[in-house]
Structure 1
Amino acid sequence: MSSDEDKKIAELLEDIHSLRRKIAKIQTLFPVIITSLKSGSILYINDFASRFFGVSAEEAEGMCAKKFWPDLYKRRSFIRAVQQEGQVTDYETSLVNNAMEKRYVLLSANLVTHQEQEAIYMVFTDITQKKKAEKALKKSRERHRNLSNLMTLMSDTVSDLIWAKDLDDRYLFANKAICDKLLMCTPDENPLGENDLFFAQRERERGHNHTFGEICIDSDKVVKKSRKPQKFLEDGLVRGKYLALKVHKAPMFDEKGKLIGTVGTGRDVTLDNIIQNDLRKSEAMYRLLADNVRDVIWTTNDQLDITYVTPSIENLMGFTPEEFVRLAKEEQLTPHFRHQYRLVTRLLLKEAKKQEPITRLWEFEWYHKNGHRIWVETSTSAVYTAEGKFDGFVCVTRETTKKVLAQNDLEKAKEEALLASNAKSEFLANMSHEIRTPMNGVLGMMQLLQKTPLSSEQKSYVDTALSSGKSLLKIISDILDFSKIEAGKIDLEDNTFSLQAVIQSIAASFENLIDHKHVSLITEIDQSLPTHVIGDETRLRQILFNLIGNAAKFTEKGTISVHVASEGCYENKIKLVFEIRDTGVGVPADKIDTLFEPFVQVDGSFRRKYTGTGLGLSIVKQLVQLMGGEVEIHSVRGQGTMIIFSVLVKSARSADCPEIPSIAAERPAVHNRRVLVVEDENINALVITTMLKKLGHFPTLVNNGHKALELLKYMQFHCILMDIQMPQLDGIETARAIRKSTSGNCRDVPIIALTAHAMKGDRERFLDAGMNDYITKPVNMTDLITVLQNNSMVAEPSN
């Protein structure tokens, strides 16, 4: 090997050593951590990262990285991104240290091989202070923006003209009143940067007669020269109409005391000037004007005694001006407004004497002279003498009875609409009940027929009819649930249950509904979750049945997965997050936003492939919200759907957790029981008695409550199945009478309600009446067996 080659090799080795030294140096400057891709455990952590997480390198190595991720969903998203791209740069997220303090970081990561296994090499930058600074800056900007908006809103609300100008008399600020009354700006026109001359010339170019301020003193110049606030009267024509303003102007200084412009307010005193001019010209002209004013104009002195009122008061209230002036005003107000009137007068006097009056609009209800009630609104404007002393009010009053009555009618219509909505919900619930009753006969007979000897063709027909009936029952149940939710008649129940048992039982129920040759159902529960929780197990099952059922219906091949994890605690409750994924047909992007609306389906045409009411997802959304959570859907047409929902539950103590019964511990079947059936509907009676006979029991049938009470006087039964809705004596009344009876074993015999009612409060009413349990119609054979087993522990009848 030549000396040149040796030299190049030596230089290459030196570069490699130099690079390693730089990498080592970088590792001392930034937190570095290496985690196993497969297990998530920490394989390496440098000193910088150890200090960040508050654990030593020895303690950290072998720990699961999940410990430092408060958001496990973001962690999974981060890992997927690294796997897909091979590297990730500046991934923003939050981590927690060993003391559970939250910090914001930017992660950069690569897939590497470390200790002969696939791993993720991560370098991160702590941006917590930056995030705090950004939030503080955002909050400060928001506060200043809110203050600016508030100032604009306040200035635009008052009727006075408000403005500010720079040293060249160009507008720096102009409120709505000056834009509308003087500058005559259109809604999209901004006056800032222009002076009064610009607007005067523009008005003339548009053909308007504009002379405002032409003969007035240059008040801006006076104020800038004197550097003191002053008052002026400025007037002239604006679009041919006379306008007079009482102007207060003051110099405007910056924080260093430098003059930077002027600020002013103007009050429209046009009416006052017209009145004064008319009075000077001719009392007759003033009277002529006053006599023809349609609204009522009246004036007061500084003690609020009425000094003048226009003749139009007679058209409004039936009183002549002279009668109205002498009236005790509070007596003419309806009782509800008398106290308010006293408060208003005190407020007006207080503001006026401070020379800080605000033009206000007041609404009162008065008595007309003939006794009927009228509504009026009154605007009040303070009047001052030339010396600035408060001299009374000029008030303008007009009748608003029609407007108020229209508002009242609108409120009444709103209430009626709400009542109609509630009536609709009750109607749906009642219709559901009426349908359930005959459905009991149909499905019951189908179940009984299914148990008889049948040919293969007959069995196929029966199975098809039973399946169709169950589908119809599912639709009815959806309508009932939707109506109960709309009527606000769903109450959540708290009970202790096992998440694993719920997921396993639901997965088992779909065993026969999924083609396992083409579709696999996978369930996963995060190991960090408690084994038992407290919440409404029934409603959670309903949500999962709906969502997994949808996934099964729309997935012909691929995978359906159910994952359960936690997103932390909120107010002593655990936020459970459920993720249901499928590889089904997916949902078009333009349909996703409407899927949770009631009665909405992806395909509503007559050619649609999948059936249903369109209520399932609406019920899911409302149940999730009732359980304190949220639901969202992500889908790609032809690729599948992911639905994520959350609910709030409490963690259960181990002492409160019921044991999950094994198959070996199941209660043996109960046979040879004497059962009293109280049912007035013949078909339902036939169904239930035949089912009982098939199960080895001895039913006795009566069709009303009175006959049941008579029969119980000389016969005893192991159990009573009681219909609720019956003529003469209903089920609840009969149950109460049985419990009060001293005959036989009436105080101890289990009474089970047979009902198509499932509205809020029904269960409580049944139990309060002395019943032990209830079973809903249509009666399912399996449910009947269960309820009889649950209520079989009673003493044997003595006879």
Structure 2
Amino acid sequence: MLKRNTSRSVTSLIIVATVGLVFVCALALLAVMQYTYSGSMYRQFQDRVGAEAKQLGQYYFRGMGEAQRQLDALGEDNSIRVTLQLGVEYQMRERLAAFAAAAPDLHLYLRAADSQRVYAATDGPIPIEAHEFSLQPAPQTSSLSLTSEGRFYVASTRPIRNRSQVVGTAVGMYFFQPPAEGVLLEKEDYSLLVLHLGAFRDLRTGRPASVQYTSGVTDKGIPQPCLVEGREGLLAATGFEGIYYFASSAPLEELKRSNLLNNVVVLLFTSVLCSILAYFIGLKITGPLRALAESARSISLGQARLALPEGVTPITEVNDVLHALDAMLVNLRKAEELARYQLLFEEVMDAIIIYDLDGRILECNAQALDLMGTERNRMLSLSMQDLVMQEYGQKMWQVLEMVRKTPAGSPLAKRQFEMRIMPVEGDAFHAEMHIRKLRYQEQDAVLCVIRDISPRIAAENALRKAMQNAEEANRAKSGFLASMSHEIRTPMHSVLGLVDMLQASGLNEQQSRYLQMLRGSGEVLLDLINDILDFSKIEAGHIELEHIPFGLEGLFERVYSMTSVQAAQKGLETILYIAPDVPEKVVGDPNKLQQILLNLLSNSLKFTALGHVITTVHVLQRVENNVTLEIAVKDTGIGIPIIKQQSIFDVFTQADSSTARKYGGTGLGLAITKRLVEYLGGAISVESRPGQGATFTFTCVLPLPEQSSVSGSAPSLAGRRVLLVDDNPVTLHYLVLTLANYGAESVEAFSVQEAQNQLERQNGQGATRFNAIIMGSDLAELDGVSAHRQMLKRFGSMLPPTLLYLDSSHSPQGGKTLPQTGLPILAKPATPGKLISVLEGLLNNTLAPGLSITSAEGSSMDDSDQTGKVLIAEDSSANRMLMGFYLKDSPYTCDYAEDGNEAVAKFREGQFDAVIMDIQMPGMDGYAATQAIRSFETETGKRRVPIIALTANAYAEDREKCLAAGCDDYLAKPAKKQAVLEKLRHHLAR
């Protein structure tokens, strides 16, 4: 066995050698580059300083030349000559300033020949040198001189002549200043020196400057290195005698340091880059060796699933070893995969069979042998056609043909299907087969996975049977509910109708009370039946929503009409407020919304003994063509404990068992309401405290019709004043809000006396008169009619037109009566549209006196001029008698039929204006009878007679079924007299 010695990796050695060599070479190159760069930069700096010095000399020569030209021009100027002779000082100053402006560093002075005074362009002190030069009559130019103030200059003089006579002297002093911006070539650190009297002075200050040459060579033709005031730099002659230019070498040194730093950074970067490059080169060279060593080590440990280095290495010997190891690994992998596949093949839970494209079985696993009930040799002698039931033989052949034409690996080469298999031993079974085309033993074959799905097929059949049974049971339940509805509502129709007949027969008080109790019990029973049937429909999922346009105000009128008796009997005030932004029409299911409102309103009236019930409608939001309404029903009843407020929406639940005993009911009403609200896309909630009433609030999402308007969109009562008289502040509050939505101003009066005081004030000087009075019918002191008479007696013709707002206590069901009056009457609660319409008629004097706009006794429509013959098809003799009673005092005559056949026969023989058709009758039912009548009308060309369906099935889908059969309208049992008469009036008025 080889002994392991301490060694180093080839990669590490390559990296160290490469980095060391590169670093030495780069360092030598850096030294050469730095030396070359420094010499080049110094020569460039020297050339630059020489060029700048020459440019500076040219600058001063140009300045001197311009000064000389201005001085010559001054000597030739006639105006100067004249003003000098005349002694006009301000004119001489103006002219001197004009000439001096052309040369900024030139100062001009004048002196008359016979005067000691020297004139200048400004008022400043005149240099002594100017006085001295002005005494020289002949032209002359001085050398570079220094003034007593320390300023360097060159002075020139010119005589001023009048013909041959010298009348004065002009002196020009050119002062040397540092050049203006842009003269020097981007140089900031510089100095100007003047060699004056053998010593250097600073041109700016005139002070002596210390100058020391640092080089033995003193070639004045090129800039020389020197120290000026301790600063290193180059000193160069400008070409102008006596003036030298010094430039500091500090920027040059900064450039040298920056270049050195850059070279060091490049050196470091190059070293790092070379290290990385050497590392990867080492990996490239030594990687195959390491992989080879690792593979050999793993193979020695028995691990055959290894990946050898791909490709060819630069080392021939390594390649040979790699190829040998690769061949060994291929053989090991084949053996390993074969063992693994055999393990999976045998241990998988499903039966696996491999067969060729002719169906002959090539291989199978143990599960396939168990499933087919045979041993291996027998199995390999069979074909797939031997295992498939005879009726599936053609399908098996088609599968083989499809697989034969499909290339292996294609998605189409995979199939899944079901067949019945007949094993060698055992019973036939349903099998799910998954096939896939593959290569097996150098030929195309099919891998087939077979799974016994007989238990699943049995479960599916059982489930299918159970669903059929459930559907049959559901149909039986629906039929039972419909039958129960008919069987209960039909006699209930007779019972309640006969009670009405008895009440109209002149009974004594005790008998009337008994009948009233009987009617109340019957209505309670009917409500219970309705709740149970409604909930059954909802639970069965048979609720179907309509999608039709309808008016909200009309819906509320119907709901309050249905609950008016309940409110009147308890003397409760019912109040309705619809916000001005609520649309007049929406699209949806009016019957479902009506049922929700009816349930909530009836619930509040049931649990309220004293006070009022308020319904408010607001718009919660508008999104595109949908509106979300928030409708709240608030009462002053017994209230609900907080811990019970969530459970009251559960099935068969009330807030308290004592409540159920006292008020009755099944506890289904709110549960039904909650389900219906959710069907309309909304939610319902309650806020309440015991003894303080309850507020039920629900939302619903309703589409808007194409053309939608809101209730209070037009302020039709703008500028009108209305006096509101009522002792209920809540009623007055909502009346004020409603009238304000239409632009009217309202004044409240809580008593007759307060109303009279308000009317007295209107008669005062400057007071605005009232345009109308809305008078409550039940005031604390007296009724509304008596109050109106009292006020009419007092104010006479000054009394505004009055509308009597009828309280529920003054309806026939409320028990109170009002004296006869000629006042227009409007019953509470009125919708905003009706209230404003009546009020406009009152203000415009278009209402008939004594007109009852909404009367509890019945509709105000006059049917005295309307007649007709009605055919009543009803199998119940009691209901036939009841319908006859309903129409006894009406202008309509009746004929009767006991079933559908008789109804069709009588219709063919007689002339009828309307038909009331019971739907569920023996023999021919109402649907078939209606269709027969419509066919007869079509055949004979007779006019279409309105047919009103009368059925105990009180659902919207039943109504749709009646209309689809040919009926024009629909009445649910038990139908009340008023409803029957209104339907007849409506259809016969067309």
Alignment of 1:100-139 (within 5 A): none
Q: CA deviation at 1:403?
A: 3.3
Structure (1 or 2) with the greater strand fraction? 1
Match of 1:85 in 2: none
Alignment of 1:275-294 (within 5 A): none
Match of 1:687 in 2: 882
The counterpart of 1:308, out of the listed 319, 343, 363, is: 363
Match of 1:401 in 2: 454
Whether 1:776 aligns to 2:979 is no
CA contact (8 A) 1:679 1:722 kept: yes
Q: CA deviation at 1:446?
A: 0.7
Aligned mates of 2:935, 2:358 — CA distance in 1: 76
Q: Percent identity?
A: 32
Computed over aligned residues only, the root mean square deviation of the Cα atoms, in angstroms, reads 5.6
The Cα offsets for residues 452-482 of structure 1, whole Å up to 9 and x where unpaired, read as 2111111111111111111222222233333
Match of 2:988 in 1: 792
Could you say if the C-alpha distance between residues 485 and 294 of structure 1 is closer, same or farther in structure 2, counting changes exceeding 3 Å? closer
Alignment of 1:569-588 (within 5 A): 569-570=622-623, 572-582=625-635, 584-587=637-640
CA contact (8 A) 1:574 1:651 kept: no
Alignment length, in residue pairs? 530
Q: Secondary structure at the match of 1:409?
A: helix
Aligned mates of 1:457, 1:758 — CA distance in 2: 34
Q: Which moved more, 1:308-317 or 1:422-431?
A: 308-317
Aligned mates of 2:382, 2:515 — CA distance in 1: 88
Match of 2:379 in 1: 321
CA contact (8 A) 2:359 2:385 kept: no
Alignment of 1:142-161 (within 5 A): none
The counterpart of 2:583, out of the listed 504, 510, 530, is: 530
Q: Secondary structure at the match of 1:693?
A: coil
Q: TM-score under structure 1 normalisation?
A: 0.53
The Cα offsets for residues 190-241 of structure 1, whole Å up to 9 and x where unpaired, read as xxxxxxxxxxxxxxxxxxxxxxxxxxxxxxxx99x8699999999x9xxxxx
Q: CA deviation at 1:380?
A: 9.5
Q: Please tell me the residue identity of whatever aligns with 1:778.
A: P
Q: Please tell me the residue identity of whatever aligns with 2:339.
A: N
Q: CA deviation at 1:589?
A: 6.0
Could you say if the C-alpha distance between residues 666 and 331 of structure 1 is closer, same or farther in structure 2, counting changes exceeding 3 Å? same
Whether 1:482 aligns to 2:677 is no
The counterpart of 1:350, out of the listed 382, 402, 409, is: 409
Aligned mates of 2:495, 2:639 — CA distance in 1: 36
Q: Please tell me the residue identity of whatever aligns with 1:350.
A: G
CA contact (8 A) 2:592 2:676 kept: yes
Aligned mates of 2:612, 2:914 — CA distance in 1: 47
Q: CA deviation at 1:619?
A: 2.8
Whether 1:368 aligns to 2:422 is yes
Q: CA deviation at 1:582?
A: 4.4
The counterpart of 2:478, out of the listed 408, 425, 428, is: 425
The counterpart of 2:618, out of the listed 557, 565, 570, is: 565
Alignment of 1:212-611 (within 5 A): 273=339, 296-298=351-353, 306-310=361-365, 313=368, 316-317=371-372, 320-325=378-383, 327=385, 350=409, 364-368=418-422, 374-376=429-431, 397-486=450-539, 489-503=542-556, 506-507=559-560, 510=563, 512-514=565-567, 521-556=574-609, 560-570=613-623, 572-582=625-635, 584-587=637-640, 595-603=648-656, 608-611=661-664
Aligned mates of 2:885, 2:486 — CA distance in 1: 23
CA contact (8 A) 1:307 1:325 kept: no
Q: Please tell me the residue identity of whatever aligns with 1:474.
A: D
Aligned mates of 1:519, 1:735 — CA distance in 2: 44
Q: Please tell me the residue identity of whatever aligns with 2:606.
A: K
Aligned mates of 2:560, 2:516 — CA distance in 1: 23
CA contact (8 A) 1:306 1:325 kept: yes
Aligned mates of 1:277, 1:757 — CA distance in 2: 69
The counterpart of 1:667, out of the listed 836, 849, 861, is: 861
Match of 1:724 in 2: 919
Q: TM-score under structure 2 normalisation?
A: 0.44
Whether 1:698 aligns to 2:698 is no
Match of 1:160 in 2: none
Structure (1 or 2) with the greater helix fraction? 2
Aligned mates of 2:881, 2:546 — CA distance in 1: 35
Whether 1:653 aligns to 2:704 is no
The Cα offsets for residues 100-154 of structure 1, whole Å up to 9 and x where unpaired, read as xxxxxxxxxxxxxxxxxxxxxxxxxxxxxxxxxxxxxxxxxxxxxxxxxxxxxxx
The Cα offsets for residues 362-401 of structure 1, whole Å up to 9 and x where unpaired, read as 784343258986234679999999xxx9999987655231
Q: CA deviation at 1:506?
A: 3.6
The Cα offsets for residues 251-279 of structure 1, whole Å up to 9 and x where unpaired, read as xxxxxxxxxxxxxxxx9x9996378699x
CA contact (8 A) 2:963 2:969 kept: yes
CA contact (8 A) 1:296 1:398 kept: yes
Aligned mates of 1:247, 1:600 — CA distance in 2: 72
What residue ranges of structure 2 are gaps of 5+ in the alignment? 1-286, 309-332, 712-830, 839-851, 854-858
Aligned mates of 1:625, 1:547 — CA distance in 2: 15
Q: Secondary structure at the match of 2:875?
A: coil
Q: Secondary structure at the match of 2:888?
A: helix
Q: CA deviation at 1:791?
A: 2.4
The counterpart of 1:626, out of the listed 679, 694, 699, is: 679
Could you say if the C-alpha distance between residues 691 and 788 of structure 1 is closer, same or farther in structure 2, counting changes exceeding 3 Å? same
CA contact (8 A) 1:298 1:395 kept: yes
Could you say if the C-alpha distance between residues 782 and 551 of structure 1 is closer, same or farther in structure 2, counting changes exceeding 3 Å? same
Report which of the two structures shows the higher radius of gyration computed on alpha carbons.
2
CA contact (8 A) 1:624 1:647 kept: no
CA contact (8 A) 1:426 1:483 kept: no
Q: Please tell me the residue identity of whatever aligns with 2:602.
A: G
Q: Please tell me the residue identity of whatever aligns with 1:573.
A: N
Aligned mates of 1:380, 1:522 — CA distance in 2: 76
Q: Secondary structure at the match of 2:704?
A: strand
Aligned mates of 1:395, 1:277 — CA distance in 2: 17
The Cα offsets for residues 774-794 of structure 1, whole Å up to 9 and x where unpaired, read as 322222111111112112237
Q: CA deviation at 1:343?
A: 9.5
Q: CA deviation at 1:432?
A: 0.9
Aligned mates of 2:401, 2:641 — CA distance in 1: 64
Q: CA deviation at 1:643?
A: 3.1
Q: CA deviation at 1:759?
A: 5.0
CA contact (8 A) 1:300 1:393 kept: yes
Q: Which moved more, 1:432-441 or 1:547-556?
A: 547-556
Q: Please tell me the residue identity of whatever aligns with 1:648.
A: L
CA contact (8 A) 2:486 2:920 kept: no
Aligned mates of 1:673, 1:277 — CA distance in 2: 94
Aligned mates of 2:573, 2:698 — CA distance in 1: 19
Aligned mates of 2:385, 2:875 — CA distance in 1: 73
Whether 1:752 aligns to 2:810 is no
Q: CA deviation at 1:653?
A: 2.8
Aligned mates of 2:950, 2:975 — CA distance in 1: 8
The Cα offsets for residues 429-453 of structure 1, whole Å up to 9 and x where unpaired, read as 2211221111111111011112121
Aligned mates of 1:343, 1:468 — CA distance in 2: 77
CA contact (8 A) 1:577 1:647 kept: no
Q: CA deviation at 1:485?
A: 4.0
Could you say if the C-alpha distance between residues 318 and 517 of structure 1 is closer, same or farther in structure 2, counting changes exceeding 3 Å? closer
What residue ranges of structure 1 are gaps of 5+ in the alignment? 1-221, 237-243, 251-266, 279-285, 353-359, 795-799
Q: CA deviation at 1:329?
A: 8.8
Q: CA deviation at 1:587?
A: 4.8
Q: Please tell me the residue identity of whatever aligns with 1:574.
A: V
Could you say if the C-alpha distance between residues 492 and 305 of structure 1 is closer, same or farther in structure 2, counting changes exceeding 3 Å? same
CA contact (8 A) 1:484 1:490 kept: yes
CA contact (8 A) 2:409 2:438 kept: no
CA contact (8 A) 2:584 2:709 kept: no
